[in-house]
């Protein structure tokens, strides 16, 4: 039989060691949880049909030549010209007002900029053409990716 105190026997921890390991475990768990939260927050999670994600607008043959389809949820205008589809961002390149469709193209109700149906700047104060989103035709459906935007060409009118 051993005459040592139970805390000195093999397999037992002193009170100080127990508190130290408990504190170290708590800090480790908190650090891992905080790191996971930062990664989850920073990682974009856009879904189909949500701005920043992909939108299936419809069948390609349903969009007539020269027609403009307004997709409010996606914040874009879809046009078909010369057999090619283009999706223009509905936000004015001047100060970010929402553009409206007109008989000649698109116009900013706030400051008077106007664009033709090809997204080209017709009248200022906007500094460049309308921004565009990537458009693909997949299995006969028109798909617009609002997560991929290209800026319009700079112009002075």
In the prediction, which pLDDT does 30 show? 92
Claim to verify: residue 117 and residue 59 sit in the same structural domain: yes
133 and 59 in a common domain: yes
Identify whether 22 is part of a domain.
yes
When pLDDT is cut at 50, 70 and 90, the band that residue 29 belongs to is: very high
20 lies in some domain: yes
Backbone angles phi, psi at 116, to 5 degrees: -85, 180
Asked whether residue 104 is assigned to any structural domain, the reply reads yes
Instruction: Give yes or no: residues 71 and 132 share one domain.
Output: yes
User: Are 144 and 112 in the same domain?
Assistant: yes
Rounded mean pLDDT, 4-25: 78
**95 shares its domain with 117:** yes
Question: Largest alpha-carbon pair distance within the chain?
Answer: 100
Residue 47, domain member (yes or no): no
Residue 156 domain flag? no
Residue 81 neighbours by CB under 8 Å, 6+ apart: 65, 66, 117, 118
Same domain (yes/no): 81, 141 = yes
- Write out pLDDT tens, residues 67-103: 888 888 888 888 888 888 889 988 888 887 888 888 8
> Is the domain of 74 the same as that of 137?
yes
Taking the C-alpha atoms of 5, 10, 15 and 18 in order, what is their torsion angle to the nearest 10 degrees?
Answer: -170
pLDDT the model gives residue 95: 81
Q: What percent of the chain has pLDDT over 90?
A: 6
Query: Are residues 108 and 35 part of one domain?
Result: no
- Report yes or no on 29 lying in a domain: yes
Number of domains in the chain: 2
Domain co-membership, 35 together with 60: no
Domain assignment of residue 31, given as a range:
6-42
Domain of residue 121, CATH code = 2.102.10.10
| Separation between Cα atoms, residue 103 and residue 99, nearest integer Å | 13
Does any domain span residue 157?
Answer: no
Q: List the structure tokens of 36.
A: 């996971």
Tell me whether residue 128 is in a domain: yes
- Looking at the fold, whether 22 and 85 belong to one and the same domain comes out as no
């Amino acid at each position: 039989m051993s005459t040592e105190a139970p805390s000195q026997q093999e397999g037992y921890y002193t009170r100080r060691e127990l508190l130290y390991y408990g504190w170290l475990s708590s800090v480790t768990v908190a650090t891992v949880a905080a790191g996971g939260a930062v990664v989850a927050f920073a990682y974009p999670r856009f879904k189909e049909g949500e701005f920043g994600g992909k939108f299936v607008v419809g069948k390609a043959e349903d969009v007539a030549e020269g027609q403009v389809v307004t997709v409010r949820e996606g914040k874009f205008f879809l046009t078909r010209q010369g057999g090619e589809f283009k999706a223009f961002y509905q936000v004015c390149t001047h100060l970010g007002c929402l553009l409206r469709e007109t008989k000649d193209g698109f116009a900013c109700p706030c400051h008077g900029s106007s664009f033709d149906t090809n997204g080209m700047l017709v009248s200022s104060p906007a500094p460049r053409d309308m921004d565009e989103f990537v458009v693909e035709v997949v299995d006969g459906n028109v798909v617009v990716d609002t997560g991929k935007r290209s800026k319009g060409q700079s112009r002075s009118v």
